[in-house]
Amino acid sequence: MAAPFDLNDDSVVVVIGTGAGGGVLSNELAQKGVSVVALEAGGRYLPEDYINDEWESFGQLAWLDARTTSGDWRVAKDFSGLPAWIVKAVGGTTTHWAGASIRFQDHEWKALTNYGAVDGASLLDWPIDGAEMAPWYDKAETKLGVTRTGDRAGLPGNNNYKVFEKGAKALGYKEVHTGRMAINSADYDGRLACQQTGFCFQGCKWGAKWSAAYTDIPAGEATGNLEVRERAHVARILHDDSGKVTGVEYFDKDGNLQMQKARIVCVAGNSFESPRLLLNSVSDMFPNGLANSSDQVGRNYMRHTTGSVYAVFDKPVRMWRGTTMAGIVQDEARHDPSRGFVGGYELETLSLGLPFMAAFLNPGGWGRSFTTALDSYENMAGMWIVGEDMPQATNRVTLSDVKDQYGLPVANVHFSDHPNDVAMRNHAYKQGQAIYEAVGATRTFPTPPYPSTHNLGTNRMSEKPEDGVCNKWGQTHDIANLFISDGSQFTTGAAENPTLTIVALAIRQADHIASEMAAGNI
């Protein structure tokens, strides 16, 4: 175990957050001999602590601190205090994620060039592309043990998948399989193969699913170069008269304010907490918050165009048995504006347990059509839509009038669908229902989006400082020793689940930071 670093040690890199971005970055830096202090707002839970019960697990792992919401999205109406379903724990949302690990397609790195300007959207090309990212994707896939890459076999298909596959193939879809998943189909990297228990969102009891909680974090700690401080809620980032960041103030587990000095600070608190932290770090020199000379901090929030389709059949499916999301149709993930929208979407198998189904199937709805649907739960199959939503400058995270338990303004998340998002969702609902009708569904239920899990943008990468918050390395345009290390650096969202890309960017950023430190540039 690493000896604790001194609060006055200004040679350390402070990483805020320990999820797919921060957890991987912390380990990668520690492996290179860099001293890292990782600050995590949540506690530490390992596979033996996870609870195979949806509500109890939600209480254990979810980020339940206050937030506020505005805009016309369904989430503001149905879940106004809970715009996101993310985890507050060591390992972050890699505890709760489904495991889908898909590379961006080449055209998605350059959305503005390939889609053209879209009215009302703030599309921008990423300052990197697929060729530059390919070697980092290779490293990320090896780290995560992604199935269907390298020589790793795909996962088996459960009943939910078999129904989905048969319907998709009946419609003529070709790209249909059990997905590229960071869930072991055979023992790999000291972790067991998937035992098909389900409850993938509640933390994998077997450790078959990759999570920074029990892979990267302990590996980094074993080097002696990483110290993780749990239940450390970061309040603000401090800087000196030259504008360089110098340290981080945080509330420890007893509620006492501490200050850790730093050579470099990396922000990886998810797309709500990262901009909130920068905006809360105001000073005379930075009256609009840190790294915000462009007024872009908090803007261009994306969450993917989502929704679900459930269907009832005349025979049992028992969709909850087996891996929650091992099944994908990728044919619609192309860019084909003849469908009435730019960008594309994935369809992925999804099951919810009965408690969550009651909450999510038709939020606020009741009556006979709803109760008879729940009566048919055994005979249900389900899928989730993941599509590229449009960045909009007005979809943004700002500081709310509401304060948290430490007296800090919380994040207000403002989101309204772009017409492109609505057109895409409606197309996906239609195709999802057609898949199930092709195999004899008696009823289908297009279901509104749940609280977001794919929170992206808000500190986006840009070539020009005026267009975003950070450069191609995640280094903020304004402050050389301040980095963005999570999904908030995404310029656009693409159609794919984001974790693999966050991990690839973190490995790449660690390489960059270590070499810049060695050269004495930061």
Q: What residue type is 360 in one-letter code?
A: F
Task: Give the span between the Cα atoms of 504 and 186, in whole angstroms.
Answer: 23
Nearest to 455 by CA among 126, 92, 141: 92
Q: What is the mean pLDDT of residues 201-225?
A: 96
The rounded percent of the chain whose pLDDT value lies above 70 is: 99
Task: Give the span between the Cα atoms of 451 and 448, in whole angstroms.
Answer: 10
What is the tens place of the pLDDT at every residue in 9-41?
Answer: 999 999 999 999 999 999 999 999 999 999 999
> Which pLDDT value is given to residue 452?
87
Residue owning tokens 């974790």: 499
Q: What is the mean pLDDT of residues 384-391?
A: 98
Range with top average pLDDT, 73-87, 172-186, 194-208: 172-186
Phi, psi of 298 (to 5 degrees): 95, -15
> Which pLDDT value is given to residue 330?
98
> Which pLDDT value is given to residue 306?
95
Least confident range from 98-107, 296-305, 361-370, 379-388: namely 361-370
pLDDT category, 78, cuts 50, 70, 90? confident
Alpha-helical runs (H) found in 354-441: 354-360, 368-375, 419-437
- The domain limits of the chain are 13-518
Where are any strands of DSSP class E within 257-317?
A: 257-261, 264-267, 305-312
User: Domain 13-518 adopts which CATH fold?
Assistant: FAD/NAD(P)-binding domain (3.50.50)
Q: What is the mean pLDDT of residues 463-476?
A: 98
Q: Rg of the Cα trace of the chain? A: 22
Strands in 305-312's sheet, in edge-to-edge order, are 176-177, 328-329, 345-349, 380-387, 305-312, 443-447
* CB-CB neighbours of 157 under 10 Å: 20
Q: pTM of whole model > 0.95? A: yes
What is the tens place of the pLDDT at every residue in 327-378?
Answer: 999 999 999 999 999 999 999 999 988 877 777 777 667 677 777 778 889 9
